[in-house]
Chains A and B, each alone.
Chain A
């Protein structure tokens, strides 16, 4: 199938982009389009207007500071994945990005786009939530920062207003001595994970984030839990659902296995 007709705008400035968005309540932002275009082609979505932000200047930068990594809205997954400084300051980015689809999709898809697409089966929304990162958005009334904890409100639903544009995402640096690990089970590498998990071990706390386990990205605090109890402790806080790809029981088993695997790896207890 082909997408339904839409009005197309390719603004050259952020002001024009915001005006184009606010001028049509049925408008959507197009950046990489690697999730949006299939939805349009299958007519699961039919926005009346697409505001293509690929012509906006200065949004493709990845900036690294001691505090963390800031990814601009037009930085492609591939650019973040291969950014050596970004991988040094926050190694979880590279670990997770290598599981995002295939290289060809990563060449076009954007990290910020994946984050605001708000798919809990995607890796980056979970990574942002686990790390306690944030998204900077611009709207008619100015700029605001949305912490990851307030970003995800439902399946494929973020707290961005329809007339706001996410301009960057910020991932805090890994604390000195901190460790991370990432693992996922997919039918093929690059497919959506049946379950994915990442561990963040920092300053005496142990947190694990999950992919494809609930409607929104979810993180559980497993600090102080003995290794043999990790799986059950995680499941006590989660309710994996079954679908066409995996039964609830199988997802629960993957949560048990992957929780222990990533925590062991991140704590050096392999």
Chain B
């Protein structure tokens, strides 16, 4: 017996998508598999690593801890939505490039979304606040020094 599918409308990076998914489809999987937005990475899939972090109504949330059906009505922003329409890097992305905050790049989408919201709420973080801002995201290259530098550089650029 095939699983029933639900009609779901998701607003992602300003575009409204209609999709049919089972209720158990995680938002992270809906973004990647149903919408092809593979910038959102899936690491631990139980909310620990932060690689799948997206913005829901501007707030960072774990896409692996939400169902796509629960995201109806939220304005979602993925890493694909951070750059300008013409491809211009956002200040946070620019700062990552300058400070070598990328490393292997797997955790990067979650850091970029988290920091984008973090700097919006606190545009001039202290060093300690910059560290705290990324505390919920894991980098398995353990390259946190450059990521913290990137937060501070993005603040200089005016994120």
Contacts and interface: CB of A to CB of B under 8 A. Distances in A.
Contacts of A189: 135
Nearest to A9: B23
B47 interface: yes
Contact of A104 (B6, B23, B24, B136): B136
A108 B103 CA distance: 29
A78 interface: yes
A102 B135 contact: yes
Interface string B3-42: 1001000000000000000111010010000000000000
Contact of B136 (A4, A10, A52, A103): A103
A30 interface: yes
Contact of B6 (A2, A8, A105): A8
Given A37-B47, A190-B136, A104 B53 contact: yes
B70 interface: yes
A4 B114 CA distance: 30
B59 interface: yes
Interface residues of A, number: 31
A33 B136 CA distance: 17
B30 to A, nearest CB: 12
A116 to B, nearest CB: 18
A58 B119 CA distance: 30
A41 interface: yes
A38 B65 contact: yes
B114 to A, nearest CB: 7
Contact of B135 (A10, A33, A190): A190
Given A104-B60, A105-B47, A108-B56, 10 more contacts: A5-B3, A10-B72, A34-B65, A38-B65, A42-B46, A103-B133, A105-B62, A107-B59, A108-B59, A188-B135
* CB-CB nearest 9 A-B residue pairs: A102-B136, A8-B23, A38-B46, A3-B24, A107-B59, A104-B60, A37-B65, A104-B136, A108-B61
5 contacts: A37-B67, A41-B46, A52-B70, A104-B50, A107-B56
Interface of B: 3, 6, 22-24, 26, 29, 45-47, 50, 53, 56, 59-62, 64-67, 69-70, 72, 114, 133, 135-136
